Chain A
Amino acid sequence: MKKFLLATSMLIATAFGADAKTINILMEGVPDTRYVQEMLPEFKEKTGIDVQLEVVNYAEMHTKLVPQLVSPEGSYDVLIVDFYWVGEFIKAGWLQPLDERIAADGIDTNRYIPSIMNLTGKVDGVTYMLPFYNYAMGLTYRTDLLADPKHQEAFKAKYGRDLKVPTEWQEYLDQVKYFTEDAGIEGFKGVVNQGLRPDPIAMEWSNYLFARGGRYYDPETWQPTLATPEGIQALVDYRDNIQKYGPIGAANFSFDDAFNVAAQGKAYSYLTFNMFRPVYDDPASSQVVGKMEITPVPGGSLNGSWGWAIPTSSPDADAAWEFIKFIESPEIAKKRAALGGAATQAAIFDDPDLIAKYSYYPQLKQLLQTSHNFPVFTYTPQFVEVLGRELSLAVTDGKDPKEALETVDREFAEMLRKDGKLQ
């Protein structure tokens, strides 16, 4: 009887022991999370580890994560980190360095596109994350209108240049003006913008800044450089596009509001996150199936990405690493990309199977390779707030662009000093 009881207890203990191998991850409710979910049975089969995903919207993520990260033992084994938070998380010591694990498993991080690895991979030479998915921005535009001989003729007559995929910023601005004022399409606009503060406007305007040759700061000294002729002209361009050439209300559009306008065929162009490109071809959400394409913003797009990390407070860091290794293995990364995931590994964009499925992959690769990074430091989210506020004031409340950007520079410099970046 005793033996029977002992055997039963051991069986129960083993069963509970197996059940205990579960890792928890907080994720954002985006398509790439769905593609990760689809890989979980394969991970379970390979490692016996269960993965529980807690999916919330972006706005809730930071508020939910921070209390877990502050405590010595949190409830999340793996984190996904937006590039916004990288500076803050590193400064607070919330992420584990991954270099030893990477070396032990012989993982080559050169497989990632360098600009993305710099954004959500390495910080000051230490690898804290492996890139998860990218959300670099690009210029989406109507291919059918560019190919229309009537518009080609009228555009050339007015602007003295061919109507084609824009490769120069002024060329794009001329197209925006043409499709708003001269194309003769009722209720149609040359551009739709996402002017909601803080992130949508700050992210979108960054592309205008890069297009005009402006930069956020001097890379040598971290001295802010927004209130320069380039920055001011970028803000004037942005204000004109919203006020003169865009639909009413764009000054408060989030990215989904603006996307819907473009997807309903009411605007020639929308400068947005590249992950929206496949959605234009989904008849359930779009009236412009097969008519939209993406290209890098002339002058360089804004980069954006998320990375996988292991928090210092992770209850099971080894199991967490097993998961990151699996989900970022080239084989699984390709499977996720095939489902529609926004890839970060360079080889995926050269894969013939995937190019056959996604014809825009070559443009996307170029877009990612030439994109520029947003300033990453401890107070990036706070900086986005300030930038969003001032841009919105300039666009909607008559604030002088120069004055608005001088305010941003001043507050940006204060944050950089507090962070020890600017002397």
Chain B
Amino acid sequence: MTAIERRDQRFGLLMSAPGLLALMLVVLFPVFFTLWTSTSDFTLLKPSNDAFVGLAHYARAFQSNEFLHALSVTLWFVLAVVLLEFLIGFAAALALDKVEHGKTFYYVVLLFPLLMNPVVVGLIWRMFLHPTLGIVNYLLSLANLGPVDWLGNPANAFWTVVLVDIWHQVSFMVVLLLAGLSALPKEPYEAARLEGAGTLRCFFWLTLPLMRPVIVVTLLIRLIFAVKTYDIVYIMTRGGPGQATDLVSYFIYRQAFVGLDISQASAMAVILLMAVLLLTAWLHRYMRSLAA
């Protein structure tokens, strides 16, 4: 390395140091503090980290049927929303990609739910889905259907929450996938058409392989957000009826602010963080393998 390069490197480090320091303070410090808290006995009644308890809170978390149940509900919820949103979002993005006029209008309409606060979304849908006074059952009754118990029955409630989440978040998928589709090169398609390939063949042999990195990133981001879902469940069902919609983020919140047990909640949050990190690492490796 030449003297100029060394000087440039030093200058670069100097310029990025404030940003890195700020990042450490706002990201790494809370993470390490949570790790530390998870091994102590910090409660809101005795807010101090002076008693070291090792991995006791982790052991207790894995012995808690309620926590394990919340993890399993979350797993199903994440699978349902990510897959369904991807399928709907990809179909919508493919359709929009072909639109010549009024694309901005469609964008605005699609983005509208995404711009809404999840609490507002929950409240609106809770009103719409009121079984006796809501508009959805009223419209169904005009077609001699229903009434449907959207949120009072455990099986229905889970899928209702999934559907509301799809309504709220699907445009996120659409926007990202549409950006990917717009950036695809035109030449391979022209060549394929000349060779006589039809729409389906082009989709499976060109669009899907070319879009794979975008798809993986989109799924990854959506998956991480889906794991953190809290607001909609808090507003619409409070984890019920029974335990049908008891998502893990809401469960951890209750451990901290209702149970007052910050250390136990921290241990559960760390377990969740590890699960998401492992999944992210796996998806990252998968992406690298695709690139290779």
**Chain A residues proximal to chain B, CB less than 8 Å:** 59, 62-63, 66, 70, 88, 91-92, 195-198, 247-253, 257, 260-261, 264, 266, 378-379, 381-382, 385, 388-389, 392-393, 395-397, 399
Contact = CB atoms under 8 A, between A and B. Distances in A.
A92 B45 contact: yes
A88 B260 contact: yes
Interface stretch (B7-15, B129-137, B270-278): B129-137
A393 B243 contact: yes
Given A381-B258, A382-B258, A396-B154, A248 B147 contact: yes
A70 B238 CA distance: 27
A396 B153 contact: yes
Nearest to A69: B44
A63 B258 CA distance: 9
Contacts of A397: 154, 241-244
A388 to B, nearest CB: 8
A392 B240 contact: yes
B151 interface: yes
A252 B240 contact: yes
Nearest to B148: A248
A198 B239 CA distance: 9
Contacts of A379: 259-260
B47 interface: yes
Nearest to B150: A249
Given A92-B44, A260-B133, A396 B242 contact: yes
Q: Is the interface of B mostly helix, strand, loop or mixed?
A: loop
Nearest to A200: B238
Interface in B99-126: 126
12 contacts: A195-B241, A196-B237, A197-B238, A248-B152, A249-B132, A264-B132, A379-B259, A382-B258, A382-B259, A388-B238, A389-B242, A392-B241
Contact of A197 (B126, B153, B241): B241
A378 B45 contact: yes
B238 A247 contact: no
Contacts of A253: 152
B157 interface: yes
Contacts of B157: 252
A92 B47 CA distance: 10
A275 B212 CA distance: 58
A355 to B, nearest CB: 34
Nearest to B157: A252
Contacts of B149: 248-249
Contact of A247 (B131, B151, B242): B131
Nearest to A247: B132
A70 B153 contact: no
Given A197-B241, A385-B254, A251 B152 contact: yes
- Complex A-B, nearest 8 residue pairs according to Cβ-Cβ distance, in ascending order: A249-B131, A397-B242, A396-B241, A249-B152, A251-B152, A252-B151, A197-B240, A248-B149
Nearest to A199: B238
Contacts of B239: 197, 389
Given A395-B241, A397-B241, A264 B133 contact: yes
B286 interface: no
Nearest to B257: A63
B20 to A, nearest CB: 29
B44 A261 contact: no
Contact of A196 (B45, B147, B240, B243): B240
A251 B149 CA distance: 10
Given A252-B157, A392-B242, A396-B240, A195 B152 contact: yes
B185 to A, nearest CB: 51
From B44, B254, B258, residue with most partner A Cβ within 10 Å: B258
B132 A248 contact: yes
A251 B238 CA distance: 12
Contacts of A247: 131-132
B242 to A, nearest CB: 4
A252 B44 contact: no
Nearest to B46: A92
Contacts of B258: 62, 381-382, 385
Contacts of B244: 396-397
Given A249-B149, A252-B157, A257 B130 contact: yes
A221 B149 CA distance: 43
B132 A251 contact: no
Nearest to A201: B240
A92 B260 CA distance: 11
A266 B130 CA distance: 14
A407 B150 CA distance: 28
Contacts of B240: 196-197, 251-252, 388-389, 392, 396
Contact of A249 (B130, B254, B257, B260): B130
From A247, A249, A261, A392, residue with most partner B Cβ within 10 Å: A249
A62 B256 CA distance: 11
Interface in B155-199: 157
A393 B257 CA distance: 23
A381 B131 CA distance: 29
Given A260-B133, A397-B242, A249 B151 contact: yes
A252 B150 CA distance: 9
Given A389-B242, A392-B242, 6 more contacts: A91-B45, A253-B152, A382-B259, A389-B240, A392-B241, A399-B242
Nearest to B256: A63
Nearest to B246: A389
Contacts of A388: 238, 240
B135 to A, nearest CB: 14
Given A70-B44, A197-B238, A261 B243 contact: no
B257 A250 contact: no
Contacts of A59: 234
Nearest to A192: B132
Contacts of B153: 251, 396
Contacts of A392: 240-243
A91 B45 CA distance: 7
Contact of A396 (B45, B131, B152): B152
Contacts of B260: 88, 379, 382
